[in-house]
Amino acid sequence: MDTLRSALQPITHNLPTPLYTLGNNLLGPTCYKTIILDLTLTDTPCLKLAISKALGLSIISASSIVKIPQILKLLRSQSATGVSFLSYLLETGGLVATLAYNARQGFPFSTYGETALIALQNLVICVLVLRYRGRGAEAGGVLAGLAAVLWGLMDERVVGREALGYVQAVAGNLAVASKMPQIWTVWRQGGTGQLSAFAVFNYLLGSLARVFTTLQEVDDKLILYGFVAGCVLNAVLAGQMVYYWKSPATAGHAAEIGKEPEKIAMGSSTGSSTKGKGPTTRRRG
């Protein structure tokens, strides 16, 4: 370890100014010296902070594309079968409230930055779902309503600090409630339709990581409980994705991971949808 440290320290001690500034701001002077300059990995608090920051930045980076597969799947199929509009609308409302709460509390951006990126992607999904269900005219009202909510929550003259705390408590419940319509839709149809496997599994991993970063960096039970509850329901949705993988009411998820393209093209038992038509659904009592 000493040999490796001796080889790396000339690099860590001469990082470009932007990298030095970023690392110092993220870790703080003490932990930056311990982890980056001294390359000491036995300091548990600093090591946990470094892992948390790395996870936080990774989540933010991944969140910039996490819902893109779902958007592409809707565009390609021209169908919103299996995708719950109510689920995405509730989730977006919760994200908007959480974004405002974290920003006004002054929490580190690395602990909540993905909320803005995911909310924007959710809005696109909401618009597409409405369009493919013949309700495109309602999209403008949804966008205007959410924009007004965000504006009001960010302005302390409109929503005071104490009231914002109550709003965040409701947002945590929304995060939980938002998964229920999607879980119900999948169960009722006996398949996941046009729901993106990539988005579901990556969202589960992101929620697990976010629980860890919140425990390390944010001393706020409202935030923590919301992430924990959301993580549990994301796990349920991921379980449904696995269970219904080959259901006739499930679009071919193998295409998302680059497997069995010939079966998908032929509309095999793994499930496929013809453009303009959703997959055949199977009702459950």
Is the same domain home to 36 and 79? Answer: no
Axis crossing angle, helix 179-189 with helix 85-105, rounded to the nearest 10: 160
Is the same domain home to 35 and 58? Answer: no
Q: How many domains does the chain have?
A: 2
Domain membership flag for residue 195? yes
**H or E element, residue 115:** helix 114-132
pLDDT of residue 279: 44
Is the same domain home to 195 and 257? Answer: yes
Is the same domain home to 76 and 14? Answer: no
Q: Could you tell me which residues come within 8 angstroms of residue 3 by beta carbon, excluding any fewer than 6 positions away? A: none
Question: What is the pLDDT averaged over residues 198-210?
Answer: 82
Is the same domain home to 29 and 90? Answer: no
pLDDT of residue 217: 78
Is the same domain home to 20 and 60? Answer: no
Is the same domain home to 134 and 105? Answer: yes
Domain membership flag for residue 161? yes
Sign for the CA dihedral angle at 85, 87, 92, 97 comes to positive
Q: How many residues does the chain have?
A: 285
Is the same domain home to 187 and 137? Answer: yes
**Which residue range(s) make up the domain with 166?**
54-266
Instruction: Please list, residue by residue across 102-132, b when 16 or more beta carbons sit within 10 angstroms of its beta carbon and e when fewer do.
Output: bbbbebbebbbbbbbbbbebbbbbbbbbbbb
Which of 17-21, 55-59, 151-155, 278-282 has maximum average pLDDT?
A: 151-155
pLDDT of residue 143: 92
Is the same domain home to 23 and 161? Answer: no
Over residues 102-140, the pLDDT tens digits come to 899 888 887 788 888 889 999 999 999 999 998 988 999
The pTM for the full model equals 0.62
Tokens linked to 274: 């013809």
Task: Name residue 22's amino acid.
Answer: L
Domain membership flag for residue 284? no
Domain membership flag for residue 277? no
Domain membership flag for residue 115? yes
Is the same domain home to 7 and 132? Answer: no
pLDDT of residue 150: 92
Is the same domain home to 23 and 69? Answer: no
Domain membership flag for residue 274? no
Over residues 243-267, the pLDDT tens digits come to 988 877 776 555 554 554 334 333 3
**Is a pLDDT exceeding 70 seen at residue 147?**
yes
Q: Give rounded-to-5 percent helix, strand, coil for the chain.
A: 75, 0, 25
Domain membership flag for residue 275? no
Say which range, 18-22, 55-59, 87-91, 258-262, has the weakest mean pLDDT. 258-262
CB 83 within 8 A of CB 193: yes
Q: Could you tell me which residues come within 8 angstroms of residue 144 by beta carbon, excluding any fewer than 6 positions away? A: none
Domain membership flag for residue 273? no
Is the same domain home to 115 and 247? Answer: yes
